[in-house]
Chain A
Amino acid sequence: MSEDKTVLCVRDLTVGLDNDPAARILDGISFDLKSGEILGLIGEAGSGKTVLARALVKGLGAPLVTRSGAVHYKGADLLGLSERKLSKIRGKEIGYIGANPQGSLDPTIPVGNQIVEKLLSVSPGMSRKAATERALEVLAAVRIPSPEVRFHEYPFQFSGGMMQRVMIVDALVTNPAVLIADNITQPLDVTVAAQIIRLIRDLREQFSTAILFISSSLPVAETVADEVMVLQSGRIVEKATPTALVQNPQHDYTKSLLSRLPRIWGEGISGPEAADTRTLMTVEDVHRTYFVRKKGSFRGVNAVQAVRGVTLDIREGENIGIVGESGCGKSTLTRLLAWLESPQAGSIRFAGQDLSKLGAKDLTKLRQSFQLLLQDPYSSLPSRMPIGRIIAEPLLIHGLCKRSEIRGRVLAAMREVGLDPALENQLTVGLSAGQRQRINIARALVLEPRLMILDETLSALDQVEQSKLFEVFDRLQKTHGFTYIFISHDMALVRKVCHRVAVMYLGRIVEFADNNALFDNPAHPYSRALLSAVPTLDDHPFSSDEYLLEGEPPSPVHIPPGCSFRSRCPLAQEICGRVDPVAQVLPGGGSAMCHLVGQDAPARSLAAGK
């Protein structure tokens, strides 16, 4: 009986390059997809995931070519069909969703019209009215608020998560038998990604679609898939149920994947302990609001409250993590901390000196002590300058030492970050992202700073590079006593390296606590929601079903009165709508901005779901 349920049957699919007969991007891929099943496929960057997703529907472009194999669907081999016959299936019976929701639709046409356009294209008999109704119906089914309004909006008016919902609608609107979801949660914030995953699970029941769920993250695939295949360099090396795969991996590659997964919770897992050292930087109640012209209006401006009263103390030699979803004000706070912008209210003191009170000369001097490293290692390096010169540049600008000493300091810095001194006279072309990031670090290092601000500095790198660079940071910290601020959305990284963690929401730090206190017993409902959404194989202390947030943060232009988290808070009470909570000191020494904190203990643990 179960044989009958197979809808898509892939046999020996092999993809190569048209200019290289020996190349194998995909090598002998075979699997069956049954209706109502979610089949996971995981693989790292470059393993051929996206190529597979597109090869299944004959969507490969040069230089990729399908060498051999078949994709059977309803008795026909899709790969052998003419474009005309294929167009009756592709997009209609086989839906596709990619990893770039915001780029997947024409930016100049309202999303609704594009869904209707697609529907009319694959079902020529349909009337425009029927298509519109159908589109609205599915928009409502994926829980897009006020679908009639959003139907007429343009892709740029949607957030990443909402746009991914639109793309899900676009794929499901024809009621396809097969859905290919290619890494669809990858660009999204964790809480939003968790919502999308839950949506996919619900939709499977509603639409009884067979789903090929491709992901670069094993924990993500594990939460949705009935079975998971592991793709390594174009080959499927293992296929098993998620539980079997995690508990009893067969193939070496799967084992190494598992072992490389960062752990967040579990036995023997704890974050670095905070130490009470001297305070290096004090941030007191800083505010930053941007005024942007209202679209289409004559004089009106919107006040975007990016940072609204952040207070933070950073101790000598510690690692501070600042986490939060996109739009929470992390980047603005970063620019304030690096003094690239000054706050409109509040003060920042570094080593006892108020930065706003310093003259230009003293400021320049003090500035050497805190350095900002950015995420993008590509655009931040000049391409026509030899590496040694790039690193020497800050010394030349600041005129810090004698010319004769410069070379020695540059070479020393290169050695410290693990760059081969032989690279001194080469250009940056051809260097990996990790090497480039090392140049950036060396460039900051020659100034002998005390504080380094790392804005998603490691997030562009793969796991291996990441941990190598982290070793570099660690060594520098031990030898020079550096202090680091990690601005990151990667909770696993923060768990591993930060002593204390600040959680941001809508321009505020809603909780600031020691690593272990935050991860094991978060006080603020938002911290809990954020942690519960983190994909991990570890046993979550909080079940994601209980804490999963609905919706998205309100816009920083219209911040609701009272607690700004109220619109999404599962524990919101009457008082939350009236009174804006202030930071309360937590028993463990941290602080959180929530009315429930500081109430008697039973109420709190009730709130914590224990």
Chain B
Amino acid sequence: MYLLNFLIRRVLQGLVVLLIVSFAIFALLRVVPGDPARLIVGGMAPDEVVVQKAEELGLNDPIVVQYVRYLGDLARGDLGNSFFRPKSGATVGAAAYDDPSRNERAEVLDLILERIPLTLQLAGLSVVFALIISFPLGVAAGLNPGKWQDRLAFFSGSVFVSLPNFWLGIVLAQLFSIKLGILPSIGYKGFEYTILPAFVLAIGISPFIIRTLSVSIAQIMHEEFIAVAPLRGLKRPRIVVAHAIRNASIPLLNLFGIQLGILLGGVLVVELIFDYPGLGRLTINAVLQRDFPIIQGVAIFISAIFVFINIAVDLAASFIDPRLEY
């Protein structure tokens, strides 16, 4: 019952967020320079064609009308069609305006659905890697403040933070793909193609996790219930695992909810470096081409992921600590 209330409330809030985000994106894309109709038909097309195209797309209507129409489509699961991408593949930006293939444009929804599993796989694996790297460092640091473990964690965190991901990506690709030949790095033909980019991403996010873990563990170790636990008869490993780490996982979850943006930002760059066919590459190409429907679609999708993950994070946190009201 509580759970249902919570979900209803949060999903409604999430929908409001999505509405705001979509309108903001929609409005912003209409004020940046570049006439979509002109972009679609190409620079060579005569002006009548442009005008006709604009009429066809409803670009002359007031922006609110356009937005409502867009929302209506959205509700039916239609995110519109790409301006440039044909169903078949390669972009058609350079083709002549009267080329018939121009009408066969790919649906944005298909484009996104096709790529999103790859991006989620990349993001998920990088979080796993980051946790594997950060847990030993962060927990050891938190248990031994001021000692070498603490300094080690601080040092590695600082190093990781200062490695630019494009540089690290290139170095690792050189080492593992070219020199050692054990891991592929360009494109995507199977799971192993995710490993290197995920690792690069993991290095980028682990400093945050190490820091949060070490700070919160150190703080929790000073709590009364940890101090009296041995007097009550609990053994040290149990105290650390069942109580200290358990309590420290709440700030960690919150961090995850907040820093999701950084993770996704990293995903975009890393996908570009490794030519990884995920959402990131799609977005960057769309931005470069001003392919508005794709940009809108991706933005809405990403906001939805944000909303969803934050609900999941709060839910998980309140399962761990029932004092947190959901």
Spell out A's residues near B (CB within 8 Å): 54, 57, 59, 61, 87, 90-92, 96, 98, 100, 103-109, 117-118, 121-122, 154, 156, 170-171, 174, 295-298
B1-42 vs A, Cβ < 8 Å mask (1 yes, 0 no): 110011011000000000000000000000000000000000
Chain A residues with Cβ under 8 A from B321's Cβ?
107-108
Closest B residue, CB atoms, query A297: B5
Chain B residues with Cβ under 8 A from A297's Cβ?
2, 5
B206-235 vs A, Cβ < 8 Å mask (1 yes, 0 no): 000000000000000001110110111111
Q: B166 an interface residue at 8 Å Cβ cutoff?
A: no
- Interface size in chain B (residues, C-beta < 8 A): 29
- 11 A-B pairs, CB-CB below 8 angstroms? A59-B231, A87-B230, A90-B233, A104-B225, A105-B225, A108-B322, A108-B323, A117-B234, A154-B322, A297-B5, A298-B5
Chain A residues with Cβ under 8 A from B227's Cβ?
61
Asked if B323 and A90 sit within 8 Å, CB to CB, the answer is no
The 7 A-B pairs of least Cβ separation, nearest first, read: A91-B233, A296-B2, A103-B224, A122-B233, A96-B231, A108-B321, A298-B5
Tell me the smallest distance from the CB of A17 to a CB of chain B, in Å: 18
Chain B residues with Cβ under 8 A from A122's Cβ?
233
Q: B247 an interface residue at 8 Å Cβ cutoff?
A: yes
Tell me the smallest distance from the CB of B9 to a CB of chain A, in Å: 6
Tell me the smallest distance from the CB of A18 to a CB of chain B, in Å: 15
* Stretch in B50-58, B180-188, B197-205, B238-246 touching the partner: B238-246
A92 CA to B227 CA, complexed, in Å: 17
Asked if B326 and A170 sit within 8 Å, CB to CB, the answer is no
Q: Could you tell me which residues of chain B, from 306 to 326, have a CB within 8 Å of some CB in chain A?
A: 320-323, 325-326
Spell out B's residues near A (CB within 8 Å): 1-2, 5-6, 8-9, 223-225, 227-228, 230-235, 238, 242-243, 246-247, 250, 320-323, 325-326
- Given contacts A54-B231, A296-B5, list 7 more A-B pairs with CB under 8 A: A61-B227, A87-B233, A91-B234, A100-B224, A103-B224, A106-B243, A298-B8
Asked if A91 and B231 sit within 8 Å, CB to CB, the answer is yes
A121 CA to B241 CA, complexed, in Å: 14
Chain B interface, >50% SS class: helix
Asked if B233 and A118 sit within 8 Å, CB to CB, the answer is yes
Tell me the smallest distance from the CB of A61 to a CB of chain B, in Å: 7
Asked if B242 and A117 sit within 8 Å, CB to CB, the answer is yes
Closest A residue, CB atoms, query B320: A108
A493 CA to B223 CA, complexed, in Å: 33
Q: Which of A61, A107, A117, A296 has the most CB of B within 10 A?
A: A296
Q: Which of B233, B247, B320, B322 has the most CB of A within 10 A?
A: B233
A59 CA to B5 CA, complexed, in Å: 46
A297 CA to B250 CA, complexed, in Å: 23
Closest B residue, CB atoms, query A300: B5
A87 CA to B233 CA, complexed, in Å: 6
Q: Which of A87, A90, A104, A109 contacts B224 (CB 8 A)?
A: A104
Chain A residues with Cβ under 8 A from B232's Cβ?
91, 96, 104, 118, 170-171
Chain A residues with Cβ under 8 A from B224's Cβ?
98, 100, 103-104
